Every structure is written in C-alpha cells, then in structure tokens.
C-alpha cells in the first residue's frame, strides 16, 4: 500500500511530513513549516492542532471546520523571515478548495511569531 501524500504539497508522505507535527512527535522549525502543517490540519480535519498552534492573543475559544469544504492544494507564494533562528515571519500562500461543486481559493499573508520557542500563527490578511 502506498502511503498517502501530505496535503501540504511537499511530496512527502503525511506520516513523514505534517503527520509528525499533528501527532506531537515533532514541532515546526520554520514559519513556513507551521503554515504548511496548519493547511494540512484543515485538510485532514484537525481543529485541535489549529487551536494549539494559534497564538493565545488572537486564538478563538473554539473552531469548527466545515465538513463540506475539501482542501485540494497549496501554493506557497512568498516567505519573509521565519527561519530556524528568527522570532517572526510571514508566509504568503494560496489554498485551493472545493465546496458544493465549486472550486475556490483563499489568498492570505499569514504572520507567525515564536512563543516559548515554538512557532505560532498570529493573524493573516
């Protein structure tokens, strides 16, 4: 059986890529890796991971994902800072989805910061 590919688009298997972050055996080393893992969490339906990686100053009290939305692809368009030693960074991306037979996309520039050594999603525009 061929392992399923990670939804984030790296070409790795889910278990080798974002699955390790989702199950807590690894943490994101860069802002882009966290953004990719958050996209994958939307794709696999893991709101707990999304809340856990959201900065407490902007995190909602709860999160419900729409089961009718199927996330189908991710394009990382640009990154600024957010490296292994950085304290903050941004990632611009376009995430593709299908909803009620229609294809759409979400374009966002997300901001990330380190909190206690771990990357957290702050906000996006």
pLDDT digits 0-9 by tens, 16-46: 999 999 999 999 999 999 999 999 999 999 9
Give 90's strand partners. 80, 111
Cα angle 23, 28, 33; round to 5 = 110
What percent of the chain clears pLDDT 90, i.e. is strictly above it?
Answer: 98
Instruction: Give the predicted TM-score (pTM) of the model.
Output: 0.96
Averaged pLDDT of the chain? 96
pLDDT band at 2 (very low <50, low <70, confident <90, very high): low
Residues 6+ apart with CB under 8 A from 69: 97, 98, 99
pLDDT band at 1 (very low <50, low <70, confident <90, very high): low
Residue 15 contacts residue 79 (beta carbons within 8 Å): no
In the chain, where the domains are located: 14-124
For the residues 75-103, what does the mean pLDDT come to? 97
Q: Which class does domain 14-124 fall in?
A: alpha beta
Rounded CA-CA distance 96/77 in Å is 13
Full 3-state SS string of 54-122: ECCCCCCCCCCCCCCEEEEEEEEEEEEECCCCCCEEEEEEEEEEEECCEEEEEEEEEEEEEECCEEEEE
Q: Is the pLDDT confidence value at 77 over 90? A: yes
């Amino acid at each position: 059986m061929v392992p399923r590919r990670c939804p984030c688009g790296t070409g790795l298997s889910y278990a080798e890529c974002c699955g390790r972050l989702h199950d807590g055996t690894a943490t994101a080393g860069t802002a882009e890796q966290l953004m990719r893992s958050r996209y994958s969490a939307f794709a696999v339906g893991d709101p707990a991971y999304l809340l856990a990686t959201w900065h407490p100053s902007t995190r909602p009290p709860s999160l419900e994902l729409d089961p009718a939305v199927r996330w189908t692809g991710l394009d990382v368009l640009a990154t600024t800072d957010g490296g292994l030693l950085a304290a903050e960074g941004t990632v611009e991306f376009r995430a593709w989805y299908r909803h009620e037979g229609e294809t759409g996309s979400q374009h966002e520039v997300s901001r990330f910061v380190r909190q206690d050594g771990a990357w957290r999603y702050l906000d996006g525009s």
